[in-house]
Amino acid sequence: MAAIAFAVLLLGAAETQGHIAVEPLREILRGAGPDIRACARAHDLPAGSYAVRLVVNPQGKADEVELERAPRMLSGAARSCLEAAFARLRFPVTAAPYRPPSRTGDAPVSHLPPAR
C-alpha cells in the first residue's frame, strides 16, 4: 500500500478549555489508522500528504471534521470515508478550567485553541 501521511489541525470548540498532552494525542490519532487504511483500499487513495481539521467539543467528540488537503481531487465517498475515520475518535474531556502547564519540566502539551 502506498504511504499516506496526515497533518491534523486540532481545535477546541469555543467553550473548550484545557489541554491534551502530546503523547496521548498521538495515540488517539493513531486509532484512526485501521479506518484510514480501509478507506485507502476501498477508494484507491493516492500516496501523499493529506490535511484534516478537527474541532473537538468539551466532551471529547469531534463536532467538525473536514479534509482540507489531498494529493488530488477525491470523490465525495472517499472524502466522507476519511472524515468518518477521524470523526469516530474520542478525545479526553476538556471541560475543566484551563490551567497553563507549569514551567518546571512538564511534558510538552498541545493546547486546543478556540475554533473560529
pLDDT, tens digit, 9 for 90 and up, residues 14-62: 555 556 677 788 899 999 999 999 999 999 999 999 999 988 888 888 8
The pLDDT value given to residue 5 = 80
Q: Which residues of 2-26 are buried (b: 16+ CB within 10 A; e: fewer)?
A: eebebeeebbbbeebbbbbeeeebe
**Grid cell for residue 45:** 487513495
Q: What tens digit of pLDDT does each residue of 63-112 get?
A: 889 999 999 999 999 999 999 999 999 988 875 444 445 554 544 444 44
Which pLDDT score, from 0 to 100, does residue 15 have? 55
pLDDT at 113 over 50: no
Which pLDDT value is given to residue 60? 86
Q: Are 67 and 52 in contact (CB under 8 A)?
A: yes
Share of the chain above pLDDT 90, in %: 42
